[in-house]
Amino acid sequence: MISRAPRMQVVDVRARATAADRVRIRVQELAASKGVDFLRGLFRKMLVHAEEGVRKRIEGWNDGTYRHVVFADTVGFDEGLLRICLTVRKQGNRLILDFSGTSPENEGSYHAFKHIVIAHSAVYLYGYPFHDFPISSGMFAPMDYIVPRGCILNANVDAAISCSPIICCTIWSALSVCFAKMMYDSTERPLVTAFVSANGEGYMAGGVNQWGVPVAEIRAFPLNTWGGGARSDMDGVDCHGFGFSPWGKAPDVEDVENEYPDLHLFQRVLPDTGGFGKYRGGAGTTGA
């Protein structure tokens, strides 16, 4: 008799493959009906349109230098402060994002490489100030990144980087503050907001589930219910979503208990947990 858990895993893999196949097939159909030159031109137009739109929007903000510092509190297995510094210099239609002053590489695994930092910054940039442009690398054309070699955000090639997504989450807060200063008196003021709050940590656990299958996974409920940051004129959302994927959904308790050796007492929204100030961001996830 085949257990339920392996069947679920097989279906999940096939579903992912099918989704990828749909994208490939749709692109091939478009190329067949419109021609390869049309498809190539369409992709190029997306790049050009994004670059031109981003340059024009940047030009409407105030020239100047904008700074913010964020701290993390873990170094390897020990407690300690890691500093992430961001200086944004804006001139005309160009931006320089400078991470000089960020803490140096250490013995832990909270390190990243420069290209990972750029990828993480796209989460904020395409989520807020440039949300209405075609998603493409053309957005980065007006931007230069300075990430000194040897710091935790541009470590050496032999550094441990297993926690790079976690340390790179810090740049979202730095970006949102620096861009808020640039954008506050512009027509993009409604887009000025604190980034989503990583108030819920996705704990990692493993073991043998009720079907006798060994499993190890990060639990998604606290990750997919981060609080949404407040604006200057309205509250945020108590349980917004996942910073990397705002449309992600938190799994049902029953599904988690079926697949993993867990027993949840509750998963719910805890009211009145926002930050200080007239308008507050959300931080309402709680569970056990």
> Has residue 205 got a pLDDT over 90?
no
* Confidence class for position 267, pLDDT limits 50, 70, 90: confident
Mean pLDDT is lowest, of 101-105, 172-176, 222-226, for 222-226
> Has residue 176 got a pLDDT over 60?
yes
Q: Are strands 78-91 and 64-75 parallel, antiparallel or unpaired?
A: antiparallel
Supply the pTM of this predicted model.
0.80
Task: Work out the burial of residue 149: count CB atoms within 10 Å of its CB; fewer than 13 is exposed, 13-18 middle, 19 or more buried.
Answer: exposed
Structure tokens belonging to residue 222: 């606290």
> Has residue 89 got a pLDDT over 60?
yes
Mean pLDDT across 136-162: 95
* Spatial separation of the C-alpha atoms in residues 45 and 140, rounded to whole Å: 15
Task: Work out the burial of residue 254: count CB atoms within 10 Å of its CB; fewer than 13 is exposed, 13-18 middle, 19 or more buried.
Answer: exposed
- Bridge partner residues of 267 (DSSP): 287
**Predicted local confidence at residue 17, as pLDDT:** 53
**Predicted local confidence at residue 262, as pLDDT:** 83
> Has residue 15 got a pLDDT over 70?
no
Torsion, Cα of 214, 217, 221, 225 (10° steps) = -170
The structural domains of the chain, with segments of one domain joined by +, span: 49-190, 193-288
- Bridge partner residues of 144 (DSSP): 96
Q: For residue 261, how many other CB atoms are within 10 A of its CB?
A: 14
